[in-house]
């Protein structure tokens, strides 16, 4: 590997060593301003985070006002609380969605996953799904089915986690298999795994309600989570839903599970759009029954970080959530998301190397194949989606590709998940640029 000269001389340990990053100096709405004079359309909100855009004066003012008038730091392990802490939790849980009644807040999605696992201590084993992603700390990687990321740290991976198949109908459903039969097959596999491990040993099942960057904005087949919820209830297994990337309105409802016909999860992780990226913030929501179990057992949670639940993060998130509610942006995600879907299916779907378009709300992915009919995978070394991402960036369009090799299926996809306030005219700029990038990247494979 050739190490870029800037990367080598920089005192920052950059995540990629081979490619020089461009320097950003400002952002405005959907656009990023670079020091080289280029303006980039951010069609993915970074990794689906900046849902209110890159300049939001109301949030800036809320942060400044908080710093002037309130406590700058309060340790969550101290005998204190503050108004911002209580207010954000009230905003999210006052109506107890699905029985979720308590919240704890941390900094990153990985921390939220670790905390969620610690909330299920009665038993020792977890079941997760292959080609899933729940974070990059050791604890979160243990329940992530992301093969290449796990491989680096295989010696640290916990033996008390086992994996079942994801609900990936595009590649996993048999040709003549109905959705109902596919759901039955997957739910039977899940139940068999509980029985294999031992119902008295399985603490919880963790899954992304809509899969993120590993499988590309993948909703489950209708009825899947209803079947999973029923099995979890039958064996007293906690259902832990990871909505760090897909939740907080992105799919057209506040919680993605609200579209699954279930009463809700026992534990839910949230993040990314929670604070819209202005200050790091993620969280864990838990059902009242979890709180009651903790109350009658240990009387607390043996978990915490120095900088979790930072008051400034609450101030930013409160301002963000107020804007989302006031401007009906979740409903707008559903409405404008239909326009995005129509454009993707009309302009991108017919392209010869586009195999599948999927998503909900403003959370969409395009999967590429060598042959549409046969759904032929690209060889792993081709990295077709990475080429599309690079070609798009050359045209000043920022999109997100996959996270490398994640498992059995090499899923070559890109994500299009623009901010909640994206205008129709901006979608009209995004889709043509994406189309050109795909066409240009496709040429060598079509001759």
Q: Judge whether residue 383 has pLDDT over 80.
A: yes
Longest dimension (CA), the chain: 69
Using a pLDDT cut of 90, give the percent of the chain over it: 85
Rounded Cα gap, residues 173 and 260, in angstroms: 19
**Domain residue ranges in the chain:** 5-55+329-445, 59-327
The yes or no reply on domain 5-55+329-445 and CATH 3.90.1150.10 is yes
Task: Give which of 332, 365, 316 is closest to 249, Cα–Cα.
Answer: 332
Could you tell me the two tokens for 40? 């980039």
Q: Are 396 and 39 in contact (CB under 8 A)?
A: yes
pLDDT higher than threshold 90 for residue 244: yes
pLDDT at 2: 82
Contacts of 45 (CB under 8 A, 6+ apart): 51, 277, 417, 418, 419
How many Å from the N-terminal Cα to the C-terminal Cα in the chain?
Answer: 30
pLDDT band at 253 (very low <50, low <70, confident <90, very high): very high
* The pLDDT of residue 120: 85
Distances (CA, A) of 214 to 4, 29, 201, 362, 391: 27, 27, 28, 17, 21
Which class for 351: exposed (0-12), middle (13-18), buried (19 or more C-beta within 10 A)?
Answer: middle
| Confidence (pLDDT) at 44 | 97
In Å, what is the CA distance from 255 to each residue of 209, 249, 315, 347? Answer: 9, 6, 21, 29
Q: Give the Cα separation of 295 and 290 in Å (integer).
A: 9
pTM for the structure as a whole = 0.96
Please enumerate in sequence order all residues whose Cβ is within 8 A of that of 401, keeping only pairs 6 or more positions apart, or say none. 385, 386, 388, 389, 413, 414, 415
Predicted local confidence at residue 98, as pLDDT: 97
> 87-121, pLDDT tens digit by residue?
999 999 999 999 999 999 999 999 999 999 999 87
pLDDT classification of 295: cutoffs 50, 70, 90: confident
Is 81's pLDDT higher than 90? no
Q: What is the pLDDT of residues 342-377, one digit of tens each?
A: 999 999 999 999 999 999 999 999 999 999 999 999
pLDDT for position 297? 78
pLDDT in tens, 120-155: 878 999 999 999 999 999 999 999 999 999 999 999
Write out the two tokens for 305.
């970080």
- Backbone phi and psi for residue 373, each to the nearest 5 degrees, phi listed first: -65, -45
pLDDT at 86 > cutoff 80:
yes
Contact by Cβ (8 Å): 49, 363: no
Cβ neighbours of residue 87 under 8 Å, at least 6 residues apart? 314, 318
Residues whose CB is less than 8 angstroms from the CB of residue 327 and which lie 6 or more positions away in sequence, other chains included: 421
Q: Is the pLDDT of residue 309 over 90?
A: no
Question: What confidence category does residue 74 fall into, taking pLDDT thresholds of 50, 70 and 90?
Answer: confident
Residue 234 has pLDDT above 80, yes or no: yes
Closest residue by Cα to residue 327 from 429, 422, 416, 255: 422
pLDDT at position 430, please? Answer: 98
Looking at residue 114, its pLDDT comes to 96
The answer, yes or no, to whether residue 299 has pLDDT greater than 80, is: no
- Tell me what pLDDT residue 336 has: 98
pLDDT given at position 303: 83
Residue 355 has what pLDDT?
A: 98
Percent of the chain at pLDDT > 70 equals 100
Whole-number pLDDT of residue 132 = 97
Closest CA to 214 of 266, 270, 166, 163: 166
Sign (positive or negative) of CA dihedral 159, 241, 321, 88: negative
Mean pLDDT of the chain: 95
Q: Torsion-angle region of residue 52: left (phi > 0), alpha (psi -120 to 50) or beta? A: alpha
> Distance between CA 324 and CA 73 in Å, rounded?
26
Poorest-confidence range of 41-45, 74-78, 330-334?
74-78
Q: How confident is the model at residue 83 (pLDDT cuts 50, 70, 90)?
A: confident
Assess whether pLDDT exceeds 80 at residue 1. no
Q: Tell me yes or no: is domain 59-327 CATH 2.60.120.470.
A: no
Q: Which residue has the higher pLDDT, 439 or 85?
A: 439
Q: Which residue has the tokens 């299926």?
A: 409
């Amino acid at each position: 590997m050739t190490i870029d000269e800037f990367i080598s001389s920089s005192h920052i340990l950059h995540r990629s060593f081979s490619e020089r990053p461009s320097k950003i100096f400002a952002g405005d709405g959907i656009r990023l301003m670079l020091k080289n004079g280029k303006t980039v359309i951010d069609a993915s909100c970074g990794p689906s985070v900046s849902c209110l855009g890159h300049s939001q004066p109301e949030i800036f003012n809320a942060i400044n006002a908080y710093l002037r008038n309130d406590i700058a730091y309060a340790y969550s392990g101290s005998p204190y609380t503050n108004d911002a802490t209580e207010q954000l939790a009230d905003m999210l849980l006052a109506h107890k969605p699905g029985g979720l009644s308590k919240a704890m807040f941390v900094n990153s999605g990985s921390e939220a996953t670790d905390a969620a696992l610690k909330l299920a201590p009665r038993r020792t084993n977890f079941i997760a799904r292959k080609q899933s992603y729940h974070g990059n700390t050791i604890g979160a990687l243990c329940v992530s089915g992301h093969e290449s990321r796990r491989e680096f740290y295989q010696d640290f991976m916990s033996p008390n986690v086992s994996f079942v198949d994801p609900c990936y109908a595009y590649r996993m459903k048999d040709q003549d298999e109905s959705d109902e039969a596919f759901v039955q097959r997957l739910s039977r596999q899940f139940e068999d795994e509980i029985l294999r491990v031992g119902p008295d040993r399985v603490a919880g099942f963790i899954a992304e309600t809509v899969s993120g960057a590993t499988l590309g904005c993948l909703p489950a087949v209708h009825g899947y989570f209803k079947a999973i919820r029923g099995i979890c209830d039958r064996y007293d297994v906690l259902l832990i839903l990871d909505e760090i990337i897909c939740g907080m309105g992105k799919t057209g409802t506040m919680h993605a599970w609200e579209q699954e016909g279930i009463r809700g999860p026992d534990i839910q992780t949230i993040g990314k759009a929670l604070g819209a990226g202005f200050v790091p913030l993620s969280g864990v929501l838990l059902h009242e029954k979890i709180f009651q179990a903790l109350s009658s057992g240990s009387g607390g949670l043996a978990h915490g970080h120095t900088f979790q639940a930072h008051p400034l993060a609450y101030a930013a998130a409160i301002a963000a959530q107020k804007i989302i509610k006031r401007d009906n942006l979740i409903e707008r995600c559903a409405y404008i998301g239909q326009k995005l879907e129509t454009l993707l299916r009309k302009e991108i779907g017919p392209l010869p190397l586009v195999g599948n378009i999927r998503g909900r709300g403003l959370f969409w992915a395009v999967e590429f194949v060598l042959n549409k009919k046969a759904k032929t995978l690209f060889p792993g070394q081709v990295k077709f989606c990475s080429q599309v991402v690079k070609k798009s960036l050359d045209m000043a369009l920022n999109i997100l590709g996959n996270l490398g090799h994640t498992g059995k299926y090499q899923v070559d996809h890109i994500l299009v998940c623009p901010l909640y306030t994206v205008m129709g005219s901006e979608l009209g700029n995004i889709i043509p640029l994406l189309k050109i990038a795909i066409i240009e990247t496709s040429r060598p494979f079509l001759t």
